[in-house]
Structure 1
Amino acid sequence: MTNSTTEPVYQLDVLGSGYEQATLNFPDDYEGEVTATLIRKKAAQPTSKAVLYIHGFIDYFFQTEMAEQFNQHGFDFYALDLRKYGRSYLPHQKYYNVREIAEYDAEIDQALAIIGAEGHDAVLLSGHSTGGLTTTLYTAHHPDHPLIKALWVNSPFYDFNMNPIKKKLGIPNLSRVGKICPDLKFPSELNKWYVPSLHKTMHGEWDFNLEWKQPTYPLVRLSFVRAIYEAQKEIHQGVSLNVPALVMHSDQTKNPKKWHRYAQTTDVILDVKHIDKYARKMKGDITISKIKNGLHDLVLSEQPVRENVYQQLFDWLALKGL
């Protein structure tokens, strides 16, 4: 157990040898007790560089190949399972329940403090999808953070992928209702082929916990819609970053209604044109990389594609002095 004044106590993580986890504790919220989980995998040789990775919606950290890639390139790897996700979920909680993205600042603050105390002076902050939105805003809101030296986002959730009229009229109204009735639910419109494209028991090559990363999620709470909408408004205005940022996304979006090869070669969750549009509105040293045949989670793409992701990522980090 840990809080802001105690050292974390690590134990073996569910991912096995080399992976450790520590529980982070926070004040109770509107559902009661709250925890998050910090996972780490240290590089073979001591290093002052680290990465802190934040997962997306209906997700948790399981991407061991990514962790090992960072270790091989001289980074200690850390990841958070945010409150109410994955390892951090508690029986009295609603999965993934959040009312504002800033709720996650507490675990990011604490994780960075631990990373600094463990001998690191340079951190790459990283996030996928909703985690990409969260880490972009965290970086913008903490321009003088002593540890954050760069940002890498993998298909960040900078806008809702839905009919433009429905989005323009519906999302603001749903957000207003969500402030008053946060637990009301609304159809998620998430493509049903995404998780089947990934899991090894279906069409993919990856093994992960299907309770923590659920195959279907037909209804989403309006509290989540509101939290994302309010966060995206800031992105849409154009945030300023004072560290280099690498924004990666697939080269195309598709929405297959039945099983199709597109589910293994495109982003079926977000519209990549939105990611590109709002990345270009950000101010600072911003690099945008379009990955041919990339999935929504680029590091889970087919092997040649993810090899390209890592090649571009580590070339960019070297160019930026990390």
Structure 2
Amino acid sequence: MATALNSAYVPDVLGPDFEQCNITQPDDYEGGVRCTIVRRRHPQAAISRAVLYLHGFTDYFFQRELAEQWLQHGYHFYALDLRKYGRSLLPHQRPNNVRDLREYFPDLDAALDVLQAEGCKTVVLNAHSTGGLIGALYAHTGARRTALAALVLNSPFFEMNQPWLLRRVGIPLVARVGAVLPNLPLPANLPRSYGQSLHNSQRGEWDYHLPWKPLEVFPVNAGWLRAIRAGHRQLAAGLRIAQPVLVLHSARTVRRYHPFSDEYFEADGVLNVKHIQQLAPRLGPHVTLCAIEGGMHDLVLSRPAVRAEVYRQLFAWLAEMLPVEER
């Protein structure tokens, strides 16, 4: 079971409007473990609704604009940097290293405990990419899943964007190896182009901490691949998420990865959106799909007019799905 907050909130790297606090978790196969809660200071402390944001792979929470949008629509904003990511990464740990996606469940348990203790009665889980897969699995079987009122998934990672033969033969074989040799390193199979399309030192407009979110993805191992494949198989078999789910995704996938193309600014440069469309209905009985024209992989990092449409769709859906008494 997770411990309580280690101490009071302290200033966060995002500036005076944000604060953070670490939560110590039981040790794992690498040693000490922690996760980190980040919250946006809110002038209306009496509000009882909140969002919990869950980042993607090789990622952490840095999207100030996202927090401001939730704040403007009457939600407390919290984000969770999972173990071995971002603010939670410890010197002895390998980034993103996991052998079972359920290892993240205690982090979500702890975060939901914090939100409840701070008076948040209606909680929306907003999750991106790999966080979308983790969040969906948690909403299916997690210990505190009934604390969630709705899920908003931003380009969730439901399947590997790889050729058919690799997905059906190569990945399953390596995943089996991961049961015996979890630390076996695997070659990175994602280009720098997506990272280049985001960071303002390259071709993008966003400023974030490159040691926590490098242009190239962090190395992975066979244990990580095994964990991801197990999550994908569970999703493909069908989940039973009782809450309403909004699945937002780009209308198109980038057709070529090399060399860099401006297509990265208007399509998903990481996932195949057809996989998202095919698998999203298996989340549960109350799933809404929404394709965003011109959207990048992380939709809220798209160009201004596109992300404005993302927010319009998101909050219109929430207003419809959550009854007034729940909101």
In the TM superposition, residue 140 of structure 1 has moved relative to its aligned partner by 1.1
* 1:319 matched residue in structure 2: 320
Instruction: Give yes or no for the alignment of 1:112 onto 2:112.
Output: yes
In the TM superposition, residue 42 of structure 1 has moved relative to its aligned partner by 3.4
* 1:294 matched residue in structure 2: 295
Check the 8 A contact 2:6/2:22 in 1, yes or no.
no
* 2:280 matched residue in structure 1: 279
* 2:141 matched residue in structure 1: 141
State the secondary structure of the residue aligned to 2:16. coil
* 2:171 matched residue in structure 1: 171
Instruction: Give yes or no for the alignment of 1:15 onto 2:14.
Output: yes
TM-score (norm 2): 0.95
Check the 8 A contact 1:190/1:218 in 2, yes or no.
no
Instruction: Give yes or no for the alignment of 1:61 onto 2:61.
Output: yes
Check the 8 A contact 1:253/1:271 in 2, yes or no.
yes
Instruction: Give yes or no for the alignment of 1:97 onto 2:110.
Output: no
In the TM superposition, residue 7 of structure 1 has moved relative to its aligned partner by 7.4
Check the 8 A contact 1:42/1:75 in 2, yes or no.
no
TM-score (norm 1): 0.96
Instruction: Give yes or no for the alignment of 1:33 onto 2:22.
Output: no
State the secondary structure of the residue aligned to 2:67. helix
Q: Give the gaps of 5 or more residues in structure 2.
A: none
After superposition, residues 263-274 of structure 1 pair within 5 angstroms as 263-274=264-275
Check the 8 A contact 2:109/2:143 in 1, yes or no.
no
Q: Deviations over 1:290-313 (max 9, x none)?
A: 011111100000000000000000
* 2:77 matched residue in structure 1: 77
State the secondary structure of the residue aligned to 1:166. helix
CA–CA separation in structure 1 for the residues paired with 2:212 and 2:65: 19
In the TM superposition, residue 191 of structure 1 has moved relative to its aligned partner by 2.7
Q: Give the gaps of 5 or more residues in structure 1.
A: none
Return closer, same or farther for 1:173/1:244 CA change in 2, 3 Å cut-off. same
> Percent identity at matched positions?
43
CA–CA separation in structure 2 for the residues paired with 1:304 and 1:120: 31
* 2:308 matched residue in structure 1: 307
In the TM superposition, residue 223 of structure 1 has moved relative to its aligned partner by 1.3
Return closer, same or farther for 1:19/1:231 CA change in 2, 3 Å cut-off. same
CA–CA separation in structure 1 for the residues paired with 2:218 and 2:142: 35
Amino acid at match of 2:134: T
CA–CA separation in structure 2 for the residues paired with 1:23 and 1:281: 34
CA–CA separation in structure 2 for the residues paired with 1:188 and 1:162: 12
Amino acid at match of 1:25: T
Check the 8 A contact 1:268/1:296 in 2, yes or no.
yes
In the TM superposition, residue 217 of structure 1 has moved relative to its aligned partner by 3.0
Deviates more, 1:229-238 or 1:281-290: 281-290
In the TM superposition, residue 220 of structure 1 has moved relative to its aligned partner by 2.1
* 1:229 matched residue in structure 2: 229
Q: What is the CA RMSD across the aligned residues, in angstroms?
A: 1.6
In the TM superposition, residue 238 of structure 1 has moved relative to its aligned partner by 1.4
Return closer, same or farther for 1:265/1:116 CA change in 2, 3 Å cut-off. same
* 1:160 matched residue in structure 2: 160
State the secondary structure of the residue aligned to 1:228. helix
Q: Deviations over 1:74-107 (max 9, x none)?
A: 1001111111111111111111111110000011
CA–CA separation in structure 1 for the residues paired with 2:291 and 2:96: 29
Check the 8 A contact 1:251/1:294 in 2, yes or no.
yes
Amino acid at match of 2:281: R
Q: Deviations over 1:106-163 (max 9, x none)?
A: 1100000010000010000121000000001111114974421000110101000001
